Structure 1
Amino acid sequence: MRNKPKTGGRPLRVGDQIQRDLAELLQFEVKDPRIGLITLTGVEVSPDYSHAKVYFTTLAEDAKIDEVIAGLNAARGYLRRELGRRISIFQTPELHFIHDQSIARGAHLSELIDQAVKDKAQD
């Protein structure tokens, strides 16, 4: 029987550190205008530290999300190299950028609830 890999502990701490370092690098070092203002909402690191899913939100319109992802992917090599210099782990993970739509979805649901309450109050 194989032991299941742990999902907590060190991978979570490494993910948090990657999130902090990437946020700093994106704010002060990366000058790609396609990226604009983004917020990193989370980083999930694989158990073997070979891959990291980097979740982000932005105020850009849906049509511009592809440009933001293209800008992030263009900076991926630089970001990975800089992370390797800042974080002492055996292998610097490959970065995968994913648009986090949960905040926009939550705002939309909140608007729907507010409208339903308003409609009910008018009845």
Structure 2
Amino acid sequence: MIKATLTALALAAAFTAGSASAQPAPAQAAPSIDQSDVFYAACQKPENRDACLLYMAGYANGALVQALLDRQQPRYCLPPTATRPQQLGAVLAYMKGHLENMLEPTGAVVYKALIAAYPCQAKR
């Protein structure tokens, strides 16, 4: 739990650090990476790459833990050779190809993207 909290704090700090000089008007809410279009746009910027990779790590680990706790089979299966940059690339490519999902929560679209990119194979 502490690791997840620290990851979330690091991610929030990294995304806000890049925009510290361009503060929104007081009446305007800051965009949130919880919406797919904001996450997609943020992850296009090289200065946000590490934060996006941290997001992917936290998401993938959290989803695996949740499946274990629920005693469910994972909905997607990351091969041991799949790196975080590859996973992020798959998610961003999915987002670019499925613009109809861009106003959905980031977690929901990441989930769909990982299922599409890394489907589990039936054991024989």
Q: TM-score, normalised by structure 2?
A: 0.30
Q: Higher strand proportion, which one?
A: 1
Greater relative CO, 1 or 2 (CA 8 Å, sep 6+) = 2
- Per the normalisation by structure 1, the TM-score is 0.31
Larger radius of gyration: 1
